[in-house]
Amino acid sequence: MALALFDLDNTLIDGDSDYLWGCFLVEHGIVDGETYQSENQRFYDQYLDGTLDIHEFLRFQLQPLADHPRAQLEQWRREFLATRIEPILLPRARDLLDEHRARGDELLIITATNRFITEPIAQGYGVTHLLATEPEVVDGEFTGAVSGVPCFQKGKVERLEAWLALNHRNLAGSSFYSDSHNDLPLLSRVDFPIAVDPDEKLRSHAQTHGWPIISLR
């Protein structure tokens, strides 16, 4: 049974759930609109450029989770999923996941976006295994800190290696689908790297190395 790995944002969904969550918080007056929107955009631009300081971003991005009770956050998340995420789920992504299931592959979503946002999206796609950035939880509430290694760039490789060791698995025959040059460390580790609607840097790298380039849009 080979592993089929999938990035989430701008790969299996037609947008970035991290960024959209920030927009949702602004639109609903949950955070200071002008300041938060400006910072949300700044961090997203840095992500696209490959210059993002993941720890600085997570201090910003996880703070609203610490500022509100878990029950309230989950109520907001239900609305967020219905209004922001369901419209950008991709039928061709579902087809791709089903193709790998039919081959007998084991599916795993691996994403830099935190688990609070991404877990219900993975569940909606029927993917059991999820590696995501983990917000710290104490007594059932978020603290605003990160638990463990952020699942970003080389951190994705580190988190996956730990998962492989724990589950007595390896990367033989593995594939990884991603849109972002930030995932080059992991794309370079699997047997079958596939660029999905890639950014310019990843498209150039994929063309140079003869990697397949596909679209799920």
Positions marked catalytic: 7, 9
Which amino acid is located at 185 in the chain? Answer: P
DSSP line for the chain:
--EEEE--BTTTBSS-HHHHHHHHHHHTTSS-HHHHHHHHHHHHHHHHHT---HHHHHHHHHHHHHHS-HHHHHHHHHHHIIIIIGGGB-HHHHHHHHHHHHHTPEEEEEEEEEHHHHHHHHHHTT--EEEEEEEEEETTEEEEEEESS-SSTHHHHHHHHHHHHHTT---TT-EEEES-GGGHHHHTTSSEEEEES--HHHHHHHHHHT--EE---
- How does strand 141-147 pair with strand 175-178? unpaired
Place of tokens 């992504």: 93
**CB-based contact 56:63 (threshold 8 Å):** no
